[in-house]
Amino acid sequence: MGRSGASQRQKKAEKAKVKLKGHATKFLPKGKNVTNTTFKVRKIVLQEQLKTPDGSQPLSRRKLNVKEVLSRLQHYSSSQRQEGLVGLSELLNQMDMGQLTSHLFSIMDSLARLSLDPESSVRKQSAHILTSVFSLVNEAQLMPFCQVLGSYLSCAMTHIQLKVQEDSLLLFDAILEHAPALAAASANQLLPCVLDMISRSRSDHQSGRQLSVQLSSNITSSIWRAKVFGRLQALLIVSLKKCTDNGSPTRNLCYSAHHSSVPVSKDCLKELKFPLYNSNYATPLCLSTVFHKLNRNTKQLIDEPSQFKTFVESLMPLMFDSWLEVNPSTLKKSKGAEDNGLQLESALTLHCVLEIINLLWEHLVSRGKANSRTDLTEWFKVTYVKDFHKYLGTGFPYEARLIIEEESKDTSQGHGRRRSKPEKTATPDASLFKLASPFFLKDKDEKSCNKAIGKCILQNLILCHLLANMIESPTAAVKGKLLGILITYLNQWDGSLSPWSDHLLRALRSVFEKSRLWGCDLDPLLAAVVQRYHRSSAKQTAAHQLLASELCDLLGEIPVLENLQHLQKCESLSSWVSLLPSSLSSGNISLNKLCLFNKLACQNNAAFLNGLQNSFPSLLAAVVNFETSEGENRLEKEAGLASLFYWFPFWTDTQLLSLEEVLTENQSSLAKKIANILLIRSDKFEIFRQA
């Protein structure tokens, strides 16, 4: 029964379907059921492919030209992009300057875009090729790409991936080393990006920034910040140089052109011809400063004082926080451990922090000298002197935690005695210093970095300079520490520290300038400076001779400058000034030293004039052995030496005869200058008229 019911329902469903009417099959007539096999052909002409290379266009190993190689840099495959970079490096070795200049824009744009590539190998290789391109062209040719490079670099520095941020420092280093002017022009765009690499805005609706911690990074937070601080330090250096070199060339040129007098020579007066235009109008003007469009969205942190003040307010708390994280005194309080000195990472962080604070101070000082209305040094001292002394000044002077390698000792007795393994020496790694500050330490050797930064010598010298300038009335303890550490370094200074002599001289000069306000006794410090000068001048190495010359200039400023006159009472300084004329016997004395001698003589310095009177044989030896070094102006040097005879205190008959004999034998332009100067002084030197 069930089966018959199902069959009935199936029959009804078949009847309900719509029936299609059938059509009769139509066949083609005879002759038209054959396939037509005829077809038409059209020629395809490839004009570029028919051309044969003429040899003038450089080709890569795979026979690709510049355009084809650059097109591969935009390929979706990373292997194709790497192959394009290899081909581009091959083409750069074959290009001449004209070919490189014609393709410079496309090359720079394509390589800078790869700084955002997801593959690390592509980013590093593109940065390496960009470095080679920077070395092939001059800085003026790179200035038109300021906006392009600055935009790609800022995007890479603030990328969401940490690996891209780390590799962006390679491009940053290349720009700082080969195109510092381009980095200075992009400083307003790059400075906020530097802050974003190490910090973030506070999320608790408070003003300011706080340090960020990257947990997914392969390096520690302190090393990463030190690397970023090193680039920030280099950027502040190049921007400071731009500010000191008349930061606004257009304004300064127009001002000097309208407000300076037109020079008139003697030939013009004889011929009654005068120039009708100012020669300042012929000074070359950089067109990038004329047609440069300021981005309204970019804050002018370097150019505008108010914006730079805001930048300092954001940066200074980060400096203090960075040091507090690695400060051994902070760790000692938290862990209850003893403070045995700074470790390597702590010393490196302290160096970076102090260098940046010092550069900020120099920026503020240079702005105050250029325009007194924008002097922010007093604001900086009032705002940060307490925190600076609290966080950085309390541990001064700093020491490093170094383990000295000891000799191996016998640990057994008898025939089978053994020697214990020597302890490993925990010396600083200079590669870490150069990794953090490649721009600042590129010319420094490993030994110099180990001793200066690893042993906290540079850190203490920078602190001496900053403490002397920021604290108006330091306590007796602070003054004792300042003078004590400077005397110690002067006694221990050697040739390995010669690259850092500018830090020592800067600290000494700051202490000398503030000594009148402090009212402290600087006789021991001046005595140490004089002793270091004598030790360095006695050695024949170039490093010691350079240090002796710099110390001579420093000591020579004391009797010349008005604000240092109170230091002349020191006996060590008076004896040093009296011995200065004895150095004339060599004959090859520098022009700067001769200018110093004439300034002392013009000021009627008693110690110098007494020394000059007693060193008359040395003065005659300077005339006989007179010579000039390469690059020196002989006429100026002769005038400087001859003018010393005018200031001679008094003449004896023996001295007059000796001088007449020397001038008679030495028929030179120097001898004539000496005779003419003595004739101007008095008529009793008529005997030298014929000489």
pTM: 0.78
Q: What is the mean pLDDT of residues 503-524?
A: 88
Percent of the chain beyond pLDDT 90? 24
The confidence score (pLDDT) of residue 395 equals 87
The whole-angstrom separation of Cα 118 and Cα 162 is 11
The confidence score (pLDDT) of residue 690 equals 52
User: In 231-251, which positions are buried (b, 16+ CB within 10 angstroms) versus exposed (e)?
Assistant: bbbbbbbbbbebbeeebebee
Residue 377 falls in which region: left (phi positive, over 0), alpha (psi -120 to 50) or beta = alpha
The confidence score (pLDDT) of residue 28 equals 73
Report the domain count for the chain: 2
Domain range spanning residue 94? 66-198
- pLDDT(106) > 80: yes
Q: What confidence tier does 436 reach under pLDDT thresholds 50, 70, 90?
A: low
- Pick the more confident residue, 79 or 589: 79
Last residue within a domain, chosen from 143, 172, 198: 198
Alpha helix segments (H runs only) across 137-186: 139-142, 146-157, 162-178, 180-185
The confidence score (pLDDT) of residue 546 equals 86
Q: Would you say residue 167 lies in a domain?
A: yes
CATH number at residue 127: 1.25.10.10
Q: Would you say residue 590 lies in a domain?
A: yes
Q: Would you say residue 38 lies in a domain?
A: no
Q: What confidence tier does 272 reach under pLDDT thresholds 50, 70, 90?
A: very low
Task: For residue 370, give both structure tokens.
Answer: 């250029």
Q: Would you say residue 85 lies in a domain?
A: yes
Name the nearest CA neighbour of 330 among 314, 318, 315, 343.
343
Residue showing tokens 């060590």: 572
pLDDT tens digits for range 568-618: 888 888 889 888 888 887 767 788 888 888 888 888 888 888 988 888 888
Torsion, Cα 132 137 142 145, to 10 degrees, reads -60
- Pick the more confident residue, 275 or 526: 526
Q: Residues 679, 634: contact at Cβ < 8 Å?
A: no
The radius of gyration computed from the CA coordinates of the chain, to the nearest angstrom, equals: 38
The confidence score (pLDDT) of residue 400 equals 80
Q: Would you say residue 59 lies in a domain?
A: no
Task: For residue 342, give both structure tokens.
Answer: 């700074």
Name the nearest CA neighbour of 69 among 24, 125, 111.
111
The confidence score (pLDDT) of residue 373 equals 67
Q: What is the mean pLDDT of residues 38-61?
A: 74
Q: Would you say residue 548 lies in a domain?
A: no
Strands (E), 174-259: 199-201, 209-211
- pLDDT(230) > 60: yes
Last residue within a domain, chosen from 136, 168, 198: 198
Q: Would you say residue 379 lies in a domain?
A: no
The confidence score (pLDDT) of residue 215 equals 65
pLDDT tens digits for range 301-357: 666 777 888 889 999 999 999 999 888 776 555 454 455 678 888 888 899 999 999
The whole-angstrom separation of Cα 31 and Cα 420 is 110
* 8-state DSSP, 73: T
Q: What is the mean pLDDT of residues 448-466?
A: 86
pLDDT tens digits for range 154-188: 999 999 999 999 999 999 999 998 999 899 888 88
- Would you give the end-to-end CA distance of the chain in angstroms? 156
Last residue within a domain, chosen from 143, 168, 198: 198
- pLDDT(499) > 60: yes
The whole-angstrom separation of Cα 154 and Cα 148 is 10
Q: Would you say residue 75 lies in a domain?
A: yes
Task: For residue 691, give both structure tokens.
Answer: 């000489």
Q: Residues 337, 331: contact at Cβ < 8 Å?
A: yes
pLDDT tens digits for range 549-568: 889 889 988 888 888 888 88
Percent of the chain beyond pLDDT 70? 77
Identify whether 397 is preceded by a cis peptide bond (ω within 30 of 0): yes
- pLDDT(632) > 80: no
Q: What is the mean pLDDT of residues 438-464?
A: 79
The whole-angstrom separation of Cα 172 and Cα 194 is 11
Chain centroid, CA 77 distance in Å: 38
Q: What is the mean pLDDT of residues 479-491?
A: 92
- pLDDT(418) > 50: no
Residue 287 falls in which region: left (phi positive, over 0), alpha (psi -120 to 50) or beta = alpha
